[in-house]
Amino acid sequence: MSRLLSLYRSTLGKKAIVAVTGVAMLVFLVLHVIGNLKAFLPDPQLGVPDIDVYSRYLRSMGTPLLPHGAALWAIRIVMLVALALHVVCVVKLARINHAARPIRYHRRRFVEATTAARSMLVTGAILLAFLGFHLLQFTTGTIDSERFVEGAVYANLYRAFHEVSIFAIGYVLAMGILATHVYHGAWSLFQSLGYDRPDRNPGLRAFALLLALGLFVTFSSVPVAFFSGKMPVPPDSKRVAAVKGGG
Amino acid sequence: MNFVLKIWRQEGTGSGGAFSHYEVRDVEPTVSFLEMLDTLNEELTESGQEPVAFDSDCREGICGMCSLVINGQPHGPIPGTTTCQLYMRHFSDGEEITIEPWRSSAFPVLRDLVVDRSAFDRVMQAGGYVTVHSGPKPEPNSIPIEPEVAEEALDAACCIGCGACVAACPNGAAMLYTSAKVSHLALLPQGQPERYARVTAMVEQMEEEGFGSCRNYAECEAACPKEISIKFIGRMNRDYLRAALREPINPRGKMESQ
């Protein structure tokens, strides 16, 4: 434990924590987007969208071994801890970095640094704000509490993205920011953990690019599909309520 | 060739500085950048003004003394060279050239363009050594080393400690310097006994000096006059994490003095 604490005190250790928590969040994002794609699957039974079934599964995961919702809460807590560590370490590092270059250059020409790398703090801050908004919209339903129905995932998506165009546009833009952040982060984490090698680097760069593009395309496909009007209308709210009672 | 020079002038550490403009005329394209500054200083001295203070020594790219940020790039626009290897033909006639010192809180400006780089010496003192026995010297080449390993160690050992990596890094990090110094010893058999103690001590000293952290921009590699690869940073990270996570070993063991 004392060794982990001393690791946290060093900048190299903080970078390693940022990298490991970044990996945890990337794994979560991949699982999240796979779940999102269930919005495109046909209803397993009439009037019950597949993504609603998945949402109920997430809550009943681990039962009867674990209490209802325990597994989901465990994942939520792990993700919150990872996010908190990621943000705290980055903020501490940013302060150290700022102190290391108190007087900026009058003229500066960058050769290697990508825009994605140089804007990590900005993209990270936007993503943090987006995450707060996203949870308020689709987890607690605070953003549009009059029309939000807990458990009716498909209907909530339909209302948000089909009926309010600003949400669809905002989400696609936010996914663009996410892709920029992941493009640098998913490569950079290998160096922070010491797994980069010159012969591996082109592969690692390609992996980061593919991951960034893949997350952007798959995450954006849901709001874009609902916005385009090609998605079927959700089952009426009575049926939704019945499903909720049954679940 | 004619140039307008925009040079950072500063009395001493802690005192404020500002840019001054100087015009240099009829400069031969074959003249080196530092010779052009020498000529300017002669003119300034003759007209009773204070000459521009800048560092230089060997003027053949091996000592690591020259340290100018020219038009926003440490050691100027030509990759893989030091400032002294830069010639006026690399600039266009009539150009305004901005010259600034290395900017880092760990490298305080002593005067004008001269900075104090003794922070690097202290990082080196913290662990840049190997243990040798004091008896008769062994036959050279008595320890066989794979050529690839020897070459890689030499690539790291090319570091001349000029500080361009720190100057180029948007975070003012000394990761390329420290990792080159750590790696050239960690790669060779002679450096193994202190390998993990060395990386810990040198990284701790690096942080104490107030250098920033690595964000994997690779600007340091682009600015390095010896073109040292950032792969050594990854190597140092790996060794540092290993050293930090494993059980600390007391090198004295049970041999504490009675």
Inter-chain residue contact B223 with A109, CB threshold 8 Å = no
Give every CB contact of residue B255 below 8 A, 6+ residues apart in sequence. Answer: none
- Residue in chain B closest to A195 (alpha carbons) equals B234
HEC sequence for chain B: CCEEEEEEEECCCCCCEEEEEEEECCCCCCCEHHHHHHHHHHHHHHCCCCCCCCCCCCCCCCCCCCCCEECCEECCCCCCCCHHHCEHHHCCCCCEEEEECCCECCECEEECCEECCHHHHHHHHHHCCCCCCCCCCCCCCCCCCCHHHHHHHHHHHCCCCCCHHHHHCCCCECHHHHHHHHHHHHCCHHHCCCHHHHHHHHHHHHHHCCCECCCCCCHHHHHCCCCCCCHHHHHHHHHHHHHHHCCCCCCCCCCCCC
Domain map (residue ranges) of chain A:
2-102+115-235
Inter-chain residue contact A190 with B234, CB threshold 8 Å = yes
Instruction: Measure B106 CA to nearest chain A CA, in Å.
Output: 7
Q: Which residues in chain A touch residue B237, judged by CB atoms under 8 angstroms apart?
A: 12, 15-16, 191-194
Instruction: Measure A203 CA to nearest chain B CA, in Å.
Output: 15
- Spell out the per-residue pLDDT of chain A, length 247, in tens: 778 888 899 999 999 999 999 999 999 999 999 999 999 998 888 888 999 999 999 998 888 888 988 999 999 999 999 999 999 999 999 999 999 999 999 999 999 899 999 999 999 999 999 999 999 999 988 888 888 888 899 999 998 999 888 999 999 999 999 999 999 999 999 999 999 888 888 999 999 999 999 999 999 999 999 999 889 888 765 444 455 444 3
User: Which superfamily is assigned to B3-41+49-111 in CATH?
Assistant: Beta-grasp domain (3.10.20.30)
Domain map (residue ranges) of chain B:
3-41+49-111, 117-245
Inter-chain residue contact A102 with B105, CB threshold 8 Å = yes
- Residue in chain B closest to A11 (alpha carbons) equals B213
Q: Which residues in chain B touch residue A121, judged by CB atoms under 8 angstroms apart?
A: none
Q: Which residues in chain A touch residue B244, judged by CB atoms under 8 angstroms apart?
A: 3, 6-7, 10, 13
- CATH code for residues A2-102+115-235: 1.20.1300.10
Instruction: Measure A96 CA to nearest chain B CA, in Å.
Output: 6
- Give tens-digit pLDDT for B141-168: 888 999 999 999 999 999 999 999 999 9
The pTM (predicted TM-score) of the whole model is 0.91
User: Which superfamily is assigned to B117-245 in CATH?
Assistant: Alpha-helical ferredoxin (1.10.1060.10)
Residues 74-93 of chain A whose Cβ lies under 8 A from any Cβ of chain B? 93
For chains A and B, what is the number of CB pairs under 8 angstroms?
138
CA distance B104 to B211: 8
Inter-chain residue contact B237 with A102, CB threshold 8 Å = no
Instruction: Measure B104 CA to nearest chain A CA, in Å.
Output: 5
